[in-house]
Amino acid sequence: MTYHRTNLARYRDIEFQPADEIRRVQEVLLREHVNYCAANSPYYRALFEKYAINPGEITLDNLPGIPPTGKEDLESKNDEFIATSTEKIVDIVFSSGTTGRPTRIVYTENDLQRLAYNEHQSFGAAGVTEHDTVLLTCTMDRCFVAGLAYFLGTRSIGAAAVRNGHGTMESHLEIIQRIAPSVIVGVPSFLLKLAAHINASGNEAAFNTVEKLFCIGEPVRNGDMAYLPAGEKLKNLWDTAVYSTYASTETVTTFCECTEECGGHLHPELAVVEVLDEEGTPAKHGSQGEVVVTPLGAEGMPLLRFKTGDISFLIDEPCGCGRRSPRLGPVLARKKQMIKLKGTTLYPQTIALALGDIPEISEHLLEVSSSDDLSDSVTVHVALNDPALSAEQVAKRLQSRLRVKPEVVIQPLAELRGRIFSPRYRKPIRFIDRREKRETIS
């Protein structure tokens, strides 16, 4: 059994190098990663054999010809992905599976060090230094990796971490007042609630020391890179820089915005990132498609061409920070949430954006179920602040944006809020998917 021994620190400045140097380094690291998979991963050994692939011949150019790995593969053949011996495993987490049963992901010491390096690079590009104090509002436990990743990154860069995780609003406010953090990491909807709590309790001075927010788990920008309403509110309420990060548990890799706040920088030494169109071929640059990640150097469960299920796009234009690596746009949708409605395909986020542009709507909740034909059935539940507006009028306004007319049901505000802000979930529920085999909420 062989192990990766790549010294990542020597690639710390690779993002500033010319494109051909970035490519040269990626070829070397891809070869090393593929060799590791071939030597240690039962899943990839079987895949190479099945498709008569010579791993020694895989390059950046022909990588798109390798069959991708889906979440369902990771779930159904979980043990076969483990590419290390038991004594090398130091952390075990779970990611949400396709059928609701969480998928086990194992990390080695090298994987955690790689993650620390990744977050060091991300925080560093956004201007975090050893002088900062970082309040982590994401949990360190419950078998999630996010909180651990940001803690490792904070440590790596030498800043002070304050791990209040899923603490109460009151405890977060008290910590902000006592410790005066300059950086907060958290889920946007939670950071909005925290800001509302700070305002409602008359402690506006608590906003003063915070300079940067790192937003995880929910997008804050749309496809034009402008702020979504939540991002705009965060920026205004906290009066800080708002950085968006993208990560996945399976690929143990994250991409974060730099001080220019214009998309998450790819780290060439950590991952090869592709965006695939509906046919599974590389999307034209800048076009939307599914994000597919090959996490270079991942050791516990190495992956080749992992389909994240997230829809986004790559930005190739040079960045004001001087880095030459492409950037990943915001997650615009989840592929499995794609809705087929009357011959059109659309995503819940598209409907949510259209709803956000109707000022008479106070709250909204989307429900999708299977119907008899090939179409899905979509019901939009709304609470209105204008009693004169009818469900039909709302449906027509949505139709003008979406091209199809969903069913609209008006509900009293308190009743709808009761469904959206369930005490069982930390995030507001705005999408209920009742289609066969994928009953989920998000």
Q: Footprint of Zn ion on this chain (CB under 5 A)?
A: 258, 260, 319, 321, 323
CB 396 within 8 A of CB 405: yes
Return the number of the residue (145 or 258) whose C-beta is nearest Zn ion.
258
CB of 228 to Zn ion, least distance (A): 21
Return the number of the residue (263 or 300) whose C-beta is nearest Zn ion.
263
CB of 389 to Zn ion, least distance (A): 43
CB of 30 to Zn ion, least distance (A): 23
Return the number of the residue (100 or 322) whose C-beta is nearest Zn ion.
322
Return the number of the residue (36 or 255) whose C-beta is nearest Zn ion.
255
Return the number of the residue (206 or 262) whose C-beta is nearest Zn ion.
262
Exposure of 173 in the CB half-sphere (CA atoms within 13 A): 17
286 phi-psi bin (left φ>0, alpha ψ -120 to 50, beta other):
left
Q: Per residue in 18-54, is it b (16+ CB within 10 Å) or e — as a string?
A: eeeebeebbeebbbbbbebbbebbebbbebbeeeebe
CB of 361 to Zn ion, least distance (A): 36
Return the number of the residue (321 or 391) whose C-beta is nearest Zn ion.
321
Return the number of the residue (93 or 319) whose C-beta is nearest Zn ion.
319
Return the number of the residue (303 or 319) whose C-beta is nearest Zn ion.
319
Closest CA to 442 of 344, 351, 353, 349: 349
CB of 96 to Zn ion, least distance (A): 30
CB 183 within 8 A of CB 216: no
Return the number of the residue (323 or 397) whose C-beta is nearest Zn ion.
323
CB of 118 to Zn ion, least distance (A): 16
CB of 436 to Zn ion, least distance (A): 43
Distance of alpha carbon 255 from alpha carbon 269, whole angstroms: 12
CB of 223 to Zn ion, least distance (A): 19
Return the number of the residue (258 or 394) whose C-beta is nearest Zn ion.
258
CB of 224 to Zn ion, least distance (A): 18
CB of 377 to Zn ion, least distance (A): 43
CB 230 within 8 A of CB 222: no
Rg (C-alpha) for the chain, rounded Å, is 22
Q: Count other C-beta atoms under 10 Å from residue 106's C-beta.
A: 20
